[in-house]
Amino acid sequence: MTEKKVSRYADEAMFTATPLSKGEGEPLHPVVTVISMTPNPLRVLGAASEMYQGRPVHNPSDVSQELALYWFRSATKNKLQAPLEFIDIHMLIENVSRAFTHQLVRQRTAVYVQESLRFAVKENAALEVVRPPSLDGLADDHPMAVLWENANRYDANVYNALVSAGMPAEDARGRLPTNIGTRIHYKSNLRNLADQSGVRLCSQAQYEWKQVWARIIAAIVAYGPESERWQQRTICTLFRPVCYATGKCEFMAPTDRWCIIRDRVEAHHRAGEPPDTWTDIDPHAPLHPLAARRPS
């Protein structure tokens, strides 16, 4: 629980941010918690879909597993995917960078509430900066690692000194790095969440997105009663690189990066071979941190 410290801060609307959970000296790793999800999601989807054939359903529990799966398959084979919008998923995403959330909120079809640096004072800022993958595996005394950690400490010291001197947090936050750790509530319906997964599980996405999506999938699969998790497991089959949904590479502009699987995807596309026949492509290959960098 946060604590209000009027005596310490220049603005009475300033509060101490609850520290992000991490061990001393340990890097931040994304944490995803499903706060709520439409109960019996695929049965709800089935109840709505039954109306297409003139059958009103008043209780989702009346929709059998077989019927729910039938309508799920139908919705995913049709461009008119309105039934997927009846399923809402509300998540809390923690230990991610503000660089990540700046991209996340570009999804205009979702709802967000984020830890506010105008009001929440990051007293632990030096230890709450998300490390980029290029530093993974480097010794603590490697020049890049030293520069990174020194810059974090310097920025945090300046920020804390300004706040202590009476500067409002909304002004002092300008000294915090783009990768300062944060938390955000994120609610989306399934149709739009699946669309987002396509571009964020692609090789073109930055690595932090891939880390977060692995945890989103795990959190959704683990949500709800065990006896009904077949619905969550089925839902998660929608989350895959966009080429697996469209059958071709959707990032062919001159500004797009190289991709580890693009040539094979395009070869299958030219041959008219749909994604469910691709046996020479590992669907997890785009998740590698170097999947969009040409081999040297």
The residues assigned a catalytic role are: 200
Are the CB atoms for 104 and 184 separated by under 8 Å? yes
Q: Which two tokens stand for residue 213?
A: 């999506």
Task: List, as one string, the DSSP characters of 172-201.
Answer: HGGGS-TTBEEEEEEEEEHHHHHHHHHHHS
Q: Is 279 exposed, middle or buried (0-12, 13-18, 19+ CB in 10 A)?
A: exposed
The strand ranges marked E within 139-274 are 181-189
Give the Cβ contact number of residue 105 at 10 Å.
13
3-state secondary structure of 225: coil
Q: Which residues are CB-neighbours of 242 under 8 A, at least 6 positions away? A: 198, 199, 201, 202, 250
CA distance 120 to 207: 27
Cβ atoms of residues 42 and 72 within 8 Å:
yes
In the chain, what is the straight-line distance between the N-terminal and C-terminal CA atoms, in Å? 49
Q: Listing from the earlier edge strand, what are the strands of the sheet with 3-4? A: 3-4, 15-16, 120-121
